[in-house]
């Protein structure tokens, strides 16, 4: 089973410099959370979906579709109920609270979609190289890269253990939610044990190869900024600045909203 989100294609987004893609992701996050109106995160969500289409990463997005739907629905319900406004719609619900609930759900889904697009078009090695090139200490960049690599390893170990127990006759799908939870809880022990064993093996391998001994390091992946990189980099910096300005001035607040 393929447990990685990266999609091996030769698209325009794949060829971008990892530093550009990282700053574009930051710009999307800044703009998504800057205001209260739903139209800005909606535009960002549509742009992220356009990037998914361009990169051919629909399969990666489909793998987190349950999370996207759950996050949007929960955010919509919670913020619609627990916020208020001046324009009543039905019962305690108001137009302002509904708009705020929709906006909050779109903020989270746009951020998740953009993150999936980033991981689908950027290899793990490129992420570490890009962070190092931006001035981040190599140890910290490698730690972040290793953490991203451990997540699918952790999921793969859990899937293997569950399939092995299912082959031995353990019913992991039957019964209600409480029964299934009680069935899965004992499986957490071998899952965590397997993850700790993998982390320990990786640490020993790094120590055996002298990780961190050399102060000056060479790069396996040469990074070069092209014309599209400079253009998107400029747009990303403008987007980050706009997000900070919107958050500081409250330019996209919903009039009459009571949080």
How many angstroms separate the CA atoms of 230 and 235, rounded? Answer: 9
**Over residues 210-236, mean pLDDT:** 80
* In a domain? residue 141: yes
63 and 81, same domain (yes or no): yes
pTM, 2 dp: 0.79
Question: Which of 42-75 are b and which e, b meaning 16 or more Cβ less than 10 Å from the residue's Cβ?
Answer: bebbebbbebbeebbbeebbeeeeeebeebbeeb
165 and 121, same domain (yes or no): no
- Report the chain's terminal Cα–Cα distance, integer Å: 44
25 and 92, same domain (yes or no): yes
94 and 190, same domain (yes or no): no
**CB-based contacts of 113, cutoff 8 Å, min separation 6:** 45, 48, 49, 52, 61, 68
109 and 159, same domain (yes or no): no
Helices (H) and strands (E) in the chain, counts: 11, 2
23 and 115, same domain (yes or no): yes
How many angstroms separate the CA atoms of 71 and 259, rounded? Answer: 19
How many domains, in total, are found in the chain?
2
Which domain does 103 fall in, by range?
12-129+226-249
pLDDT, tens digit, 9 for 90 and up, residues 78-101: 888 888 778 787 877 888 888 999
* In a domain? residue 217: no
* In a domain? residue 20: yes
pLDDT, tens digit, 9 for 90 and up, residues 195-221: 778 778 877 887 777 776 666 666 677
């Amino acid at each position: 089973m393929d447990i990685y989100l990266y999609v091996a294609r030769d698209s325009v987004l794949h060829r971008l410099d990892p530093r550009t893609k990282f700053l574009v992701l930051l710009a999307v996050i800044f703009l998504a959370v800057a205001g209260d109106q739903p139209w800005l995160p909606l535009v960002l969500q549509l742009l992220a979906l356009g990037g998914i289409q361009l990169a051919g990463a629909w399969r990666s997005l489909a793998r987190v579709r349950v999370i996207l739907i759950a996050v949007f629905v929960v955010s919509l319900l919670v913020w619609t109920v627990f916020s208020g406004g001046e324009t009543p719609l039905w019962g305690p619900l108001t137009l302002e609270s509904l708009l705020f609930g929709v906006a909050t759900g779109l903020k989270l889904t746009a951020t998740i979609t953009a993150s999936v697009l980033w991981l689908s078009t950027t290899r793990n090695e490129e992420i570490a190289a890009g962070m190092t090139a931006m001035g981040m200490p190599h140890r910290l960049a490698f730690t972040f890269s290793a953490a991203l690599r451990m997540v699918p390893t952790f999921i793969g170990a859990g899937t293997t253990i569950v399939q092995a127990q299912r082959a031995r006759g353990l019913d992991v799908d039957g019964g209600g939610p409480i029964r299934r939870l009680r069935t899965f809880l004992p499986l957490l022990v071998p899952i965590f044990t397997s993850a700790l064993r993998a982390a320990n093996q990786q640490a020993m391998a790094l120590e055996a190869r002298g990780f961190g001994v050399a102060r000056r390091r060479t790069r396996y992946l040469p990074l070069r900024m092209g014309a599209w990189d400079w253009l998107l980099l400029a747009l990303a910096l403008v987007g980050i600045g706009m997000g900070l300005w919107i958050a500081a001035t409250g330019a996209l607040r919903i009039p009459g909203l009571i949080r």
